[in-house]
Structure 1
Amino acid sequence: MNKSATQFCPVPQEQQPTHEYQQLQDSWFFSWATLEPTDYIKKLLGVGFATSIIAAPIAAASFLPTKYPVKFFLSSIGGMTFLTALVLFQLYFGWSYVCDRLYQERISYEESGWYDGQVWLKPESMLTRDRLIVGYEVQPILDRIKKTFVFLLCIVIVGSIIWFV
């Protein structure tokens, strides 16, 4: 391939995978996954606290805190975990989408609307660059989110064991 062929990219700027990746990094919400571990945990604890404001009254309506304190506490934690998991799903799906777009050899894009979709084959140099971004930048983010899901799942399992004991 000649040099001009590797420099030309017919995909509109906003639909190029590297641009989508940069937008996620710059996004208020999606950038949470790129933060240092302590800051990431603080954000999730903030979400957990905010969701407990919703979950605790619902749990209190089901289990009076004075009469069933353990069930109230466990159902509050369960609701908080569920709502936090929804936030994590959004984070995961956003980063997973960009990961797939970066990793694929072909980029599907739209020139002006849904009816004129096109597919462009990435040049080898662009594919290599994008796959390096996946391996060194995006995959660790996805792994972090997966580990957080495992942690939340452990909370649910321990809570379930306590509930039934």
Structure 2
Amino acid sequence: MMRSSVSNCPVPTDQQPLNEYEELKTAWLFRDCTLNWREYITNIAWIWGYSWLVSGPVAAASFPPQKYIAHFFLCGTAGASLSVIFVLVRMYLGWRYIRDRLYSKTVFYEESGWYDGQTWVKPQEVLTRDRLIVTYEIKPILQRLQFTFAGLAGMYLIGTIVWHLF
């Protein structure tokens, strides 16, 4: 039933939203969003930890740990969090792009290059399938990323308050 509409699809295979979704789901960085919470947070913590390799020496140069341990720690933590934010923004933009492509009634595609773009209107069964994927697969991922951003914003707020106390 769905196969006939998809087989008549003029969109090149690698530009079909469903295939882009499947590819993103298995891509190195983006698959972290599909893991359970524990594995997801663990991977974010590893990114944060590796970021200390850069932010730690910068924070130590600004606030020697022997004299200003609290400021050193807060500055290093905030600096390391910037890498996490950049990674999360990249993941969010990738997943949002795929969400938009799946949710749209039309698909813009390129036949052989940037100069000959076309638009394909999805048949109703393909549109329904794609929107179900958005609702049950992609929305939870985007909500997880938004929740992570909110958690980081909360930690920055707490860090700012603690900074002013010292």
TM-score band by shorter chain is over 0.9
C-alpha distance in structure 2 between counterparts of 1:36 and 1:5, whole Å: 34
The 5 Å alignment of 1:2-151 reads 7-151=7-151
Contact (CA 8 Å) 2:111, 2:117: kept in 1 or not? yes
What do the CA deviations read for 1:49-77 (whole angstroms, capped 9, x no partner)?
00111111110011100111111000001
C-alpha distance in structure 1 between counterparts of 2:35 and 2:164, whole Å: 37
C-alpha distance in structure 1 between counterparts of 2:52 and 2:17, whole Å: 36
What do the CA deviations read for 1:19-52 (whole angstroms, capped 9, x no partner)?
0000011111110000011111110010010011
C-alpha distance in structure 1 between counterparts of 2:18 and 2:5, whole Å: 18
Unaligned ranges ≥5, structure 2:
none
TM-score (norm 1): 0.96
The alignment partner of 2:112 has SS state of coil
Q: Residue 48 and residue 8 in structure 1: after superposition, are their counterparts in 2 closer, same or farther (change >3 A)?
A: same
C-alpha distance in structure 1 between counterparts of 2:67 and 2:6, whole Å: 70
Q: Percent identity?
A: 45
Letter in 1 for 2:93: F
Cα drift, residue 7 of structure 1? 4.2
Contact (CA 8 Å) 2:101, 2:107: kept in 1 or not? yes
What do the CA deviations read for 1:118-141 (whole angstroms, capped 9, x no partner)?
111000000000000000000000
Partner of 1:160: 160
C-alpha distance in structure 1 between counterparts of 2:83 and 2:67, whole Å: 25
Cα drift, residue 5 of structure 1? 5.5
Residues matched between the structures, number? 163
Contact (CA 8 Å) 1:6, 1:125: kept in 2 or not? no
Contact (CA 8 Å) 2:5, 2:126: kept in 1 or not? no
* Moved >4 Å (runs of 4+): 3-7
C-alpha distance in structure 1 between counterparts of 2:4 and 2:45, whole Å: 50
Q: CA RMSD in A?
A: 1.2
The alignment partner of 1:28 has SS state of coil
